[in-house]
Structure 1
Amino acid sequence: MEVTFLGTGTSQGIPIIGSEHPVCLSENPKDKRLRVSVLISWNDFNILIDCGPDFRQQMLANNVKKLDAIFFTHEHNDHTAGLDDIRPFFFRQGDIPVYAHERVLKALHKRFDYIFLTENKYPGAPGVTENVIENMPFNFHGLTVTPVNFMHNRLQVFGYRMEDFAYLTDLKSIEDKEVEKLHDLKVLVVSALRIEPHHSHFNLEEALEFVERVKPERTYLTHISHMLGFHDEVEQMLPDNVHLAYDNLKITI
C-alpha cells in the first residue's frame, strides 16, 4: 500500500490569500499546503479520501490517471468542493464510486445536483455510484475498510482504517470504543491544526496525546494551518516516530 499526501493544509490552504504571516511567506515548498486529501494505491486500485477544491491540481501534480473510488470523511467544502473535476476520470471510466455517510451524500446531492440526476442530465456532467457507509467494516475489492467514528466539534466525521493504516482528519473528540479500532497500526495520520487550542480540531498537544494513546509505529500530522509554524522547526520538536506530512509526500506501508 502506498499513500500519497495530496494536500496537508487546512481549509484556506497555505499560503492564505493576501496574508503577510511569515509561514505564508516561506519559500520552503513544505510550507506550501493544498487542502487536505490522500490517495491510497493498493493492488492496482487508487482510492481517494476527500475531494477538495485543489483536486484537479493534485491529480496533475501526481500524474494520476485512474480513480477507483472516493471516500468522504464529511461534507465541509475543503473536503468536497472538487467533485466536479472527476470528469476526466468519468469520461474514461464511467461512473466513479463514492462512499460516504448518508448525511454527506444528501449534502452532495444539494451542492452537485446535476451530477446525481438520473433523467435529462447534461451530457458534460460526470456521474457517480453512491455507497452509503455506516459505522461498520465493509469490503472494497478484497480490502477491509473500517470506518472510525468521531466528532469535529458537533459534526460527525468518519476516518478510515485500511489494513495497518488509518487516516483521521478534523478530529476533536472520540469515544474509547472507536480508539480500540486503531490498535496495532503501522501508520496513523491525524490532524493537528495549530499550537493554540481550537474548538473543533486537535491542536498539536492534543494530537500528540492521541498518538500516545493509540501507539502506532509511525504518525504523520496533517490538516495543518500556518499557525502551527514552519515545517522544519515544528518537525524538530516532534517525537522520533511522529512527523509533519507535507504535500506530495509518499509513504509505503
Structure 2
Amino acid sequence: MAIAIPSPSPSPSAPMEFIFLGTGTSSSVPHVDCLTRPRDDPNPCRTCLSTLTPEGKKNIRRNTSGVVRTKAKDGSDVTIVIDAGKTFQAAAVEWFPQYGLRKIDALLITHPHADAMNGLDDLRGWTLGGSIQSYIDVYVSDHTFKEVQRSFPYLVSKEYASGGGDVPEFVWHIIEDKVPFEINDTGIFVTGFSVHHGRIFSPVPSPAFMFTPEGTGTTTTPSEPLEQALDLLSVNGSAQKKNDDIIHPYLCFGFKIQDEIVYLSDVSHIPEDAWAIIHNKKGREGRPLPLCILDCLHLSPHTSHFGLHESITAARQISATRTYLTGFSHKLSHDEYVKITEVVGGATVDESSLTDMEKQGLELIETGGEAFWVRPAHDGLRVILDEGVPRDDTYT
C-alpha cells in the first residue's frame, strides 16, 4: 500500500475543468416510487415525472460525483475522479465519451457510504486486461480503507476473489486529515479535511466478516443484540456503559484541489478547524476562491446534509467566485433551485409567479446580505477555470 507524501508548497495551477458526473443524493433521482404512482394520485412528484421528458433532463440526478481535469507540471492531462458510487457506471457511460475522458489518474473517496464507493467494482472496465490502464490510484482515509476492506475484501487482496477472479486493479494511498498530498508526480496537490456528515448511531464496530484463505480470520456474530453490545462496549480493554448524551459525528472528507476548488459534497457541519483550510489563499495572491461545490439536500436541514438555509449561509461565508449546489433530493426541481438562487444573487421576482416550494425556499434564505453567485449544478455540467475565472455553458 502506498502512503501519500505531503508537500508544503503546491505548484501554480494550470487551467482546470470540473465536470459534475452526478448531483443527487444516495437514492438518486428519479425515484421508482414516484414514477409508478397511480395516474390519479393527487400529489404527483413533478420533479421525478419531468425526467421522462427532454425538458426535465436536468432533474436526472445520479449519486454525487465529479471529475477534475487539469494539466500536470510536464503538460500532460490529469483526470481526477471524486467518488464512485452506485450510479458511477451509468454516469461514466454518458459523460466520459461526451467530454473526451478516458484514463483516470486518481480516484478520491470522500467517505465509505454506498453512494461514494459502491461503484469501485465498475472500475474493472478501466483495468481489466489493461483495457485503458493497468491500475488506478485510489486516495482514501484509513477509516475508508478499512471499510472497503471489510465490504469488498477482493478489491484490496485478490486472494479473496471468487468466480473467474476478474477484479479491478488499485494502488491504495492512505491520506491524512488536513495533510496535503500530491497526485503521483504531477505537481497537483490536494488537501483532504474532515467535516461532519451526520452522526454515528452506534459505537459498536462493524462486523468484520474477513476470512483469510486459511480460515484463520475472526468474525463477529451478526445476530448479537445491539443493546447488549452497547451496554458491554469495551474501550481500551475495559467495559463501560453507553452514554446516550454523547453524539459522535460521522466524518467525511472535503477536498481542496490546487487551492482553486473546494469540494464539500456530504456535510451537515463544517468544524472550526476546517475553515482555516477553506479560507487559506496561499497561491492565489489574495484573490477569492474560484470554485466551491457545496452540499444541499433540500429545503429543510437533515441529520447528515445541509438544507438550503445552511448551504446559503456556508456559501456566503466561503465566499467563492462561484458556488454550485449539489447532492439534491427530488423535493425541488432544477428550475425551482435556479429561481431561488437567482434571488440570492440579487434578482427580483414576481411573487405571483412563484411555486409553493420557491416561496418556502425564499423564506429560508437571508436576502438582506450582500448578493453573491450561487446556482444548482446538474449532471453533465462542466465548469471551466481559466486563470481563476469560472464559466460554464448553462449559466451566463
- Cα deviation, residue 156, structure 1: 0.5
- The structure with the greater share of residues assigned to strand is 1
Quick one: which amino acid aligns to residue 170 of structure 2?
V
- Cα deviation, residue 119, structure 1: 4.0
Q: Which residue matches 1:130?
A: 172
Measured in 2, the distance between the counterparts of 1:206 and 1:180 equals: 19
Quick one: which amino acid aligns to residue 46 of structure 1?
T
Q: Name structure 1 gaps, 5 residues minimum.
A: none
Task: Give secondary structure in 2 for the equivalent of 1:11.
Answer: coil
Q: Which residue matches 2:30?
A: 15
Quick one: which amino acid aligns to residue 45 of structure 2?
H
Task: Give secondary structure in 2 for the equivalent of 1:15.
Answer: coil
- 2:191, 2:255 within 8 Å by CA — same for their partners in 1? yes
Q: Name structure 2 gaps, 5 residues minimum.
A: 1-15, 35-43, 72-76, 199-248, 280-287, 346-372, 386-396
Q: How many residues align?
A: 252
1:232 aligns with 2:277: no
1:252 aligns with 2:384: yes
Q: Which residue matches 1:203?
A: 307
1:59 aligns with 2:87: no
Deviations 1:184-235 (A, max 9, x none): 31000010000012111100110000011111111000000112x1111221
Q: Which residue matches 2:140?
A: 100
Task: Give secondary structure in 1 for the equivalent of 2:32.
Answer: coil
1:149 aligns with 2:164: no
The Cα RMSD (Å) is 1.4
Q: 1:124 to 1:172 in 2, by over 3 A?
A: same
Say which one has the larger Rg.
2
TM-score, normalised relative to structure 1: 0.95
TM-score, normalised relative to structure 2: 0.62
Quick one: which amino acid aligns to residue 39 of structure 1?
V
Q: Which residue matches 1:83?
A: 120
Q: Which residue matches 1:74?
A: 111
2:319 to 186, 204, 215: 215
Deviations 1:130-181 (A, max 9, x none): 1011011111121111112111112111011112111101101122221121
Q: Which residue matches 1:168?
A: 264
- Cα deviation, residue 96, structure 1: 1.0
Measured in 2, the distance between the counterparts of 1:96 and 1:210 equals: 33
Report % sequence identity.
32
Quick one: which amino acid aligns to residue 169 of structure 2?
G
Q: Which residue matches 1:109?
A: 149
